[in-house]
Amino acid sequence: MSDSFITIIAIFLAAILMFIFPLMSMADRTDDISQLAVQTATTEFVDKVRTTGRLTLDDYDQFVSTLASTGNSYDIEMTIYHLDENPGVKVTQADITKVGENLYYNEYTTQINEKLDESGRINLKEGDMFSATVKNTNRTIAELLRGFFYSVTGNDTYQVAGQHGGTVAVNGSSK
């Protein structure tokens, strides 16, 4: 083994240790911070909807721009579960003889966005449920660097994600 071969190995190792490792470490931290920002923003957004009973275009836009400030692009999925307290509503999965079986019917992201664009707000009522899930769609630097060494396959290879949901506490009608 020649000395020059070891030197080449050493240069590679040094390059990895001195550049890639710190870079990966920093990129990971950046993602952690993004993750934190996204989780906080999602919780705040959902909690605001839950405590006001109102989903407004303003709040949604603000939420989107908070997410954008992390430097990644995101896929936002929202679901509204409308509580249907009507007694004896006939469905297949509930006992129709039981009076007042509580059912939910759902609205999803595209329907919600359509409504928001149309009227600027969606009112919810007490007992409805609202949830939002956020996942990044781009490849963050940490992911790129990691892809350099190994790759993770599968559909859900997101790095930054936030999820929150819960029951709406109040009727959203304007007063």
Q: Does 45 bind another protein (CB under 8 A)?
A: no
Residue by residue, what is the 3-state secondary structure of 112-142? HHHHHHHHCEEECCCCCEEEEEEEECCCCHH
Distance of closest approach, residue 165 Cβ to another protein, in angstroms = 10
Strand partners, 54: 123
- Segment contacting another protein by CB under 8 A, of 48-56, 66-74, 140-148, 151-159: 48-56
Q: Does 114 bind another protein (CB under 8 A)?
A: no
Q: Does 126 bind another protein (CB under 8 A)?
A: yes
Q: Does 94 bind another protein (CB under 8 A)?
A: no
Residue count, binding to another protein (CB under 8 A) = 52
Burial class (CB in 10 A: 0-12, 13-18, 19+), 14: exposed
- Nearer Cβ to another protein, position 109 or 171? 171
Q: Phi and psi dihedrals of 153, rounded to 5?
A: -105, 160
Q: Does 118 bind another protein (CB under 8 A)?
A: no
Q: How far apart are the first and last CA of the chain?
A: 84
CA distance 39 to 165: 12
Distance of closest approach, residue 138 Cβ to another protein, in angstroms = 21
Order of strands across the sheet that contains 74-84: 103-108, 74-84, 129-136, 161-167
Query: For binding to another protein (CB under 8 A), which residues are involved?
Result: 7, 10-11, 13-14, 17-18, 21-22, 25, 28-29, 32-33, 35-36, 39-40, 43-44, 47, 50-53, 82-89, 99-100, 119, 121-126, 164, 166-167, 169-175
